[in-house]
Amino acid sequence: MGFYPRLPDRPIVHEFASLSTAPFAEAKDFLKRILLPIPCYRVFLNEFVHAQLRFGCDVPFVYRDMGVSDLFFSRQSRRGMGHFDYDFVYFGSVTRIRRIDVLLRLFVGSGKTLLLIGEPDASIVAEFSSQKNIIFAGRLTNSQIPEVAERCRFAVNFMPDCYPFNEQTSTKLIEYCALGMPIVSSDYRWARAFAAKRNAKIFFLKSGLARLPLVEIERFSFETPDVSDLRWNEVIKRSGIGKILNDLNI
C-alpha cells in the first residue's frame, strides 16, 4: 500500500497483502498508520497483518489471504511422468533479505541440482554462479512456472525465521502443494502451523546446517496436503470482497 496525498473523488479500498520489510520495517508501517488517508474499506492478508498495523479508526475490513492459480493444479497429474531434470526447485524471492544465500550454501558440494526461479540479486549470482549444480532460471511467467516445476523432484520453501516473514503466508509453499510436490522447508512458525492444520508431512531443515541432509530427505515420508480450497476463486469468494463491491456499488 503506497502513499498519496489525498483521497480521490471515488470509493477507495486499501489492501495490505503484507507488512513492510527491512530496512526500517516498523517505521514504514508506523508511517502508513499516521499518513495514509482513511479509505472506505481495508483488506488485510490475515489477522496478524491487521493486528501489527494497528489502525485506530473504525473502518470496515475483510481478510483476503493468498491463493493459488488454477494453472498449478492443472499440472499435478503430470508429476512422475518420465524422469526429473532437477533434484530441487525454489521459486520466489532470490534475495539476501530473504537469506537465500544461506540455502544456496547448503547445496555447495552436495552433488544435487537446485533450480532457482525468480529474479536474483546480482551479488547472489556473483557468489554462486560458479556452482554448476545451482541453476538460475531467472523470472518466469505464472504459466511457465508449473511446467518447469513438474520436472523437479523436491520443492524448497525457504523463509527466515524472523519478523515479519515467519508470520505471513508463504505463497510458494501453497503453490508447491497445488503441484503435489514433496516439500523441504526452513523451520518457522507459519510453516509449522500450516503443516499441523493441514496434516502435512513437510521436511523441516534444522537451523545451523552446513550441508543438506540428503539421506534424511530421501528416507522421509512426505505427505502433501490438498489445498484445493485455496484456489483464487474460493479465496476471493470467502473473503467478503464481493460485499465490499456491492456496498460501494462497483
pLDDT in tens, 64-106: 999 999 999 987 656 656 689 999 999 988 998 889 999 999 9
Check: CB of residue 98 under 8 Å from CB of residue 166: no
**E strands within 24-133?**
41-44, 61-63, 86-91, 114-117
**E strands within 92-162?**
114-117, 134-138, 152-157
Confidence at residue 23, expressed as pLDDT on a 0 to 100 scale: 76
Q: What is the DSSP letter of 99?
A: T
Helix axes 171-179, 189-198, angle to 10 degrees: 30
Measured between alpha carbons, how far is 32 from 2 in angstroms, rounded to an integer? 8
Confidence at residue 22, expressed as pLDDT on a 0 to 100 scale: 72
Residue 237 grid coordinates:
469468494
Query: Using 50, 70 and 90 to split pLDDT, how confident is the model at 245?
Result: confident
Domain extent listing, the chain: 13-66+232-247, 70-229
Measured between alpha carbons, how far is 228 from 34 in angstroms, rounded to an integer? 38
Q: What is the DSSP letter of 96?
A: G
Higher pLDDT, 186 or 35: 186
71, 81, 121 from 144: Cα distances, Å = 9, 18, 21
Q: Is the pLDDT of residue 238 over 70?
A: yes
Q: Look up the CATH superfamily of 70-229.
A: Glycogen Phosphorylase B; (3.40.50.2000)
% of the chain with per-residue pLDDT over 70? 94
**E strands within the chain?**
13-16, 41-44, 61-63, 86-91, 114-117, 134-138, 152-157, 183-186, 203-205
Query: Using 50, 70 and 90 to split pLDDT, how confident is the model at 212?
Result: very high
Confidence at residue 150, expressed as pLDDT on a 0 to 100 scale: 87
